[in-house]
Amino acid sequence: MTVRRRQPAPAVPLTLRSPVSDLPNCAASSVKALDRLGIRTVSDLLRNLPFGWESFSEVAGVGSLEPNVPATLTCVVERVVAKRTPRRGIRLSEATVRDDAGVPLKVIWFNMPFLARQLAPGDRLVLAGTPKSGRYGELELLNPLHEVIRDGSRPPRLGALQPKYHLTQGLKPQRLVEWVNAALPLADGLADVIPAATRQAQRLLPIAEAVRKGHQPDSEAEWREARRRFAFAELLELQAAFLLARRRLEAESASPVPYRQEVIEAFKRGLDFRLTNAQRRSIWEIYQDLEKQEAMNRLLDGDVGSGKTAVAAAAAAMAHHAGLQSLVMAPTEILARQHLNRFRHYLEASFPDLRVELLVSGLAAAERRRVRLAAASGHCGLLVGTHALIEEEVELAALGLVVVDEQHRFGTRQRELLRAKSRVGRPHFLCMSATPIPRSLALALYGEMALSTLDELPPGRPAIITRVIPPDDREVAYQLIRREVGAGRQVFIICPLIEESEALEAKAATVEFERLRRQVFPDLRLGLVHGRLKEKDEVMRAFQAGDIDVLVATAVVEVGVDVANATVMAIEGAERFGLAQLHQFRGRVGRGAQQSHCLLLSDQVTGRALERLQLVAQIQDGFRLAAEDMRLRGAGELMGSRQHGMSDLAMEALHRPELLSEIRQEAESLLAADPGLNQEPALREAALRRLESTAIS
């Protein structure tokens, strides 16, 4: 039988600016997969260092393999076929190989049917992988790295340290290694953002050497040295970007908002609660900023239920007294409507002439026209809305204050469009975050912003009873849910996935919803909501209205949903979430006067997983939990590295606050000597690029 081998595509000369589509054998699907990882050019590829390494010991033959022990094996292909699994129809390549003694071994590559065309009987291979016990006890290699020995000489790197890159659907590790190998000769042309003097003082590798040692180290120490250099460079870019952003803000004047004691007194009289010390401190910090001609640029970071909206309302009251309008932007219509009700509650009784209006895409055309006219004429003192606020036809007569909730969901361009609506200078800017952030991380992510922290909850709020529920006690959780619903309360049940996944043994929201509806709570009113559901706003409104007893949901309810009647938060697969995220879920209940409960359900609560969940049960303080989450899982897991334009290695460096302080001082020193960074064009270009593409204001 004649086996046809795929002819390699003609080579395209590569440059650092070449798109990844020019890499050898990089199909359109691979280009899309790389784009999801932020890799668009050859330069991006080289700067994407592996996050870890696997070491495969050399074995003499199949008989020397041990289950779950990584190994490297030289063998010959006996047969190879493309198949589909009978139950799920997964495409795979299955091969039988033999070692030099003729002992056979089964090898399976999932989702790689093309290997059945590329490999042929008689091919000599080097395989590197971790053997697993098959159905009948025999050893198998699943998805091993492989290289074909074409010229009789063994490939030099397979079997040594093997890189572990972040992957996404449609991207295979070996193909990524091949592309990196093709691009490595170009490393000498990379521009180094770290000035030579800084590099020498900090004992950092030059960029080209760091790239080579990062991708192909001879030891783990070399790899760590390369990552240290890249982390330093990335944080230096960020700190330089922050300083440039701050100077840009200083160059643009804003309308000062004079402080008036009678305004804050009237505001406090209109509240039905006493402000906490943390709220009073934050309001005072904001008022001091508002009095300046330099535009305020402040982050208000508070735990769930700490009263961020009341602080923002106090700022809007002072702006209104100065004849300026305020604008509040939320990520969802549900959250925008909640803000509308709260701002009206906080302001309209004490300031009858301060009209609070709502602008969202779901409004009727006539109502939208009325609200836009009120904003443009100045008759609306505070406009609350979603992305509809940045539409071109929306105008404000005298915009002086912009408040953005959950800043990380908005890009720089969107915030600039908001700011551009002001006719009276640059508006003051306040962003609110409900994710408690350790101070070192806040300085790294929002270093151009001043920071106010609400680290105190209003008095009298009952603590939420948090329990870890082992698998055998699941019925106890169901009894509690039934009891609370019987008392007229409502319940959240959170699932980590939308659909069943072969990779994760987690309960999917869709499957769990059907199981609960049919088997567990057939007499209760259940609803389902997840990120792909088009009707999620309608379902959430029904839940808020009390028309749904139990809401089965994914993480879509993590932020902003306020249902005072909900008293139970049950989280399936709790060990799959970070501590800070579990705390966010917990904050969706306990909004009323009734005792609330958070149930952490898991099918595999052992060892470290149990310790992590017990921390949530023991600690109610979100800032303490965030610090623990950062210590256990890393800053990237806590905040999401991609959404902030930071790599995982830069996030890892934030475990060392003294390093961030050093880098910030270095950036300040560089800009003090060279305000425009004209002497360091590579650093200047990188900093400006971050200003345009990350969450920096």
| CATH code assigned at 97 | 2.40.50.140
* Residue 479 and residue 409 share a domain: no
Range scoring the smallest mean pLDDT among 168-172, 191-195, 514-518, 546-550: 168-172
Residue 99 lies in a domain: yes
Residue 47 lies in a domain: no
Q: What is the pLDDT of residue 634?
A: 59
Phi/psi-derived region of residue 551, left when phi > 0, alpha when psi is between -120 and 50, beta in every other case: beta
Q: What is the mean pLDDT of residues 36-55?
A: 89
pLDDT one-digit tens code per residue, 13-41: 889 999 999 998 888 989 999 998 889 99
* Residue 154 and residue 227 share a domain: no
* Residue 543 and residue 484 share a domain: yes
* Residue 418 and residue 323 share a domain: yes
pTM score? 0.75
Residue 642 lies in a domain: no
CATH of the domain at 577: 3.40.50.300
Residue 2 lies in a domain: no
Partners of 95 in the beta sheet?
A: 80, 107
Sorting pLDDT into bands at 50, 70 and 90, what band is 178? confident
Q: What is the pLDDT of residue 604?
A: 65
Residue 517 lies in a domain: yes
Structural domain boundaries enclosing 528: 465-619
DSSP string spanning 637-693? IIIITGGGT--HHHHHHTT-HHHHHHHHHHHHHHHHH-TT-TT-HHHHHHHHHHHHH
Q: What is the mean pLDDT of residues 435-451?
A: 78
* Residue 612 and residue 489 share a domain: yes
Residue 279 lies in a domain: yes
CB 530 within 8 A of CB 494: no
Tell me: pLDDT of 172 over 90: no
Q: How many structural domains comprise the chain?
A: 4
Q: What is the pLDDT of residue 461?
A: 76
Residue 647 lies in a domain: no
Q: Which H or E element spans position 372?
A: helix 365-377
pLDDT one-digit tens code per residue, 641-697: 444 556 666 767 766 767 888 888 999 999 999 998 999 999 999 998 887 754 433
* Residue 207 and residue 102 share a domain: no
Q: What is the pLDDT of residue 488?
A: 95
* Residue 578 and residue 510 share a domain: yes
Tell me: pLDDT of 640 over 60: no
Q: What is the mean pLDDT of residues 474-483?
A: 94
Report the Cα–Cα distance between both ends of the chain, in Å, rounded: 64
| Cα distances (angstroms) measured from residue 171 to each of 26, 175, 609 | 10, 7, 29
* Residue 277 and residue 333 share a domain: yes
* Residue 408 and residue 352 share a domain: yes
Instruction: Please identify, among 108, 133, 159, the residue that sits at the C-terminal boundary of a domain.
Output: 159
Taking the C-alpha atoms of residue 190 and residue 270, their distance in angstroms, rounded to an integer, is: 60
Residue 599 lies in a domain: yes
What's the chain's average pLDDT?
Answer: 85
Instruction: Please identify, among 595, 619, 643, the residue that sits at the C-terminal boundary of a domain.
Output: 619
Tell me: pLDDT of 198 over 90: yes
CA 14 to chain centre: 32
* Residue 593 and residue 528 share a domain: yes
Sorting pLDDT into bands at 50, 70 and 90, what band is 96? very high
Instruction: Please identify, among 568, 594, 619, the residue that sits at the C-terminal boundary of a domain.
Output: 619
Q: Is the dihedral of CA 141, 168, 610, 599 positive or negative?
A: negative
pLDDT one-digit tens code per residue, 559-591: 556 788 999 999 998 888 888 788 888 988 988
| Cα distances (angstroms) measured from residue 223 to each of 33, 192, 475, 502 | 25, 18, 49, 32
Tell me: pLDDT of 351 over 90: yes
* Residue 422 and residue 317 share a domain: yes
* Residue 593 and residue 517 share a domain: yes
